[in-house]
Structure formats: structure tokens, C-alpha cells
Amino acid sequence: MTSYGLLSLADHLPDPATGLYTTQAERFQLIVELAVHAERVGFERVGIGEHHFGHYILPSPFVLLGAIAAKTERIRLGTSVTLLAGLDPVRVAEDLVTLDAISNGRAELTAARGVEVTTQVAFGITDKDELRPRFDENLRLLLRLLSEEKVTWSGRFRSPLQEVRLEPRPVQKPHPPLWVGGGLSTISCDLAADLGLPLSLPSLFCFPEDYLPILERYRASMAAAGNAHKIAVAYPSHVHVARTSQEARQRFRPYLESYVRAASGCRGSQGRPLDYETLLQGPALCGSPAEVVDRIAAINETLGLQDHYLLPDLGGLPAPLLHEVIALLGSEVLPHLR
């Protein structure tokens, strides 16, 4: 059965209807409120993405997830994603198990290499050809730190470790779930399969079917390695729901269009048009509850999803409207999908 999560990438954009911004502090507080509301109406997980130096204003997902952990009891708490190539895997492991401890075993992590050059340079990666091997090395070390009692290790990109024991110890055994973020590159897909890890597809402006070749390769590689029982795929959908299709489509247009203008430079589309009507045929779900149920169910079947993240929080949507959308998703969408 597919589980459902609320995803926010913490874009900080003005409301296109008024031109007004919330403060950055208000933006973070809203995300916490939305996660609390999502737990209340039946979402099973929340995902928070890491970005740097732009209109996505959340560089430290663990900090915000800690705030959410303090106000929730059941909802799972995931980084969607952690840009592992530019981070020290020892510190990432410590942050993850600390979140796991304070949330009583609800932490998850999705690791990806990242693609933005300004971020890579700021974190000391000046040779773009290092990005993939750094990600590979850091992910393998992260797994060892989380899984082994003591780790002795040496590699190419950081100083060696001698009998390092991670503290605190993970609450979840053998460790909090780790996902590999990817979907356009066979390299990330192959790394996930090599390590026997689940695959989380990115929040791009691609159609769901664009990912089918990668998923076929991932599933075949996992099965060939004897890991068919570990196959799992997550996928995010931009979503907006209202009582009627006409209301939803009219209401969502300025917000989705504003978001696309701001995000199109860093979120790929596989060459597809980014106009409103085309987006509603693929990566964006918009309509009445019944329409959104049908679209979600179709995507679940097409991609064979274990986790489906819904992303209503974009483009400067005001808090009352976001809470209304989450309430409708909880009362009139999720029950029909289960």
C-alpha cells in the first residue's frame, strides 16, 4: 500500500495576488504548522528539502524537522533531500541519529549529490568531476557509520577514521531509512541498486512516465542482486485541490505559474513545455477531490510507488489556503486512496 507525505521545499516567494512576502521566520513557522496539520488529518510522513543561496531558503532540514518533531507524535520526518556530496558524512550521521532520538524513531534521510554549481563551489567542490565520486564515497561511509558499532575507514575526500562510534545510537534498527535521490541519471539509480537502497525521484517538472526507463533499470538491478524485497520508490507531485475543478484550476494558476518562473532554472522538465495546461497533464495535480484521487491512483500504478509525496506548499500560497488544501486532502482524498 502506498503511504502519503507532505513535502515542502521552503520556497520563499511573494503571493502573486498581493505581491506581499511573509517574513522568513513566518515561512518556517508555517511549514511547522502545516506538518502538524498534516499529521492530524492522516498524512504519514513529511519531507523537507535542502537548498542554499536562493529563493529556497532552508539550508538545514534537520533543524526544522527537529522543531516539527517537538510538536508531533506519529508523522515520519524526512530530509528530501540532503545534499551529501558537499557535506561531512560524520556530521550528517550525527544529525540523523539525533533527530531519530528526539523523535523516538521517526527520522529518515534522502541523499542526493546536488546539481547547482554555486552550492558546490561554496562547499569547496571546485572540480565538477569530483561530485559523483564524493557522493558515492560519502554515502557508503554514512551507511557504515549508521550500521557498525565502530568504524575504521580511509578514503579519498576526507581524513581517515579510527574506531569512531556514532553517538547517540540510532533508535531505529539497523538504522533510520536511507533513500537515494535520483531519477534522470543512471549513475544514481545504479548506486541505489548497488547498495540495496530505495530510490526517491526528484521534484522536477517531468511527467511521471519520463521516469519509467530509470525505474525499469533500478528494479532489474535490484532483482539481479537478490534485493527484490528491498525495492521501494518515492515520487513527489505538485498538488492543489478545491471543492470543484473550476475553482481549483482558477485558484492554482497564479501560484503554480509564479513557482515555475522562479524554479525552472534548477528543476528540469525533460524538454517538455512549462505552460500551465501542460503541467496539469503531468507533474501537477489540480482539481476536485475525486479528480485528484484518480490522478494520484494512476501515478501510483504507473510508477509502482511505496511513498507518494504531495507538494501543495509552493509559489507563495497563503497560510489559510494551504490549510484548506491539507484539510481537503486529509478528509476527501487520502481516505479514498486507502
Reported as a pLDDT band with limits 50, 70 and 90, residue 204 is confident
CA distance 11 to 29: 13
CB atoms within 10 A of CB 87: 18
C-alpha 1: how far from chain center: 19
Confidence of residue 126 (pLDDT cuts 50, 70, 90): confident
Q: Return d(Cα 55, Cα 180) in angstroms, integer.
A: 24
Position 292 scores a pLDDT of 98
Tens-place pLDDT, residues 231-268: 999 999 999 999 999 999 999 999 999 999 998 877 76
Residue of 59, 38, 6 whose CA lies nearest to 237: 6
As beta bridge partners, residue 233 has 199
List Cβ neighbours of 97 (8 Å cut-off, separation of 6 or more): 107, 146, 166, 167, 168, 169, 170, 171, 175, 176
Cβ contact 106:76 at 8 Å: yes
C-alpha 119: how far from its chain's center? Answer: 18
Strand partners, 8: 48, 313
Q: Is 138 exposed, middle or buried (0-12, 13-18, 19+ CB in 10 A)?
A: buried
- pLDDT average, residue stretch 302-309: 98
Q: In the chain, what percentage of residues exceed pLDDT 70? A: 99
The Cα 75–Cα 11 span in angstroms is: 22
Query: ω into residue 92 within 30 of 0, thus cis?
Result: no
CB atoms within 10 A of CB 75: 23
Q: Domains in the chain, ordered, with CATH?
A: 3-337 (3.20.20.30)
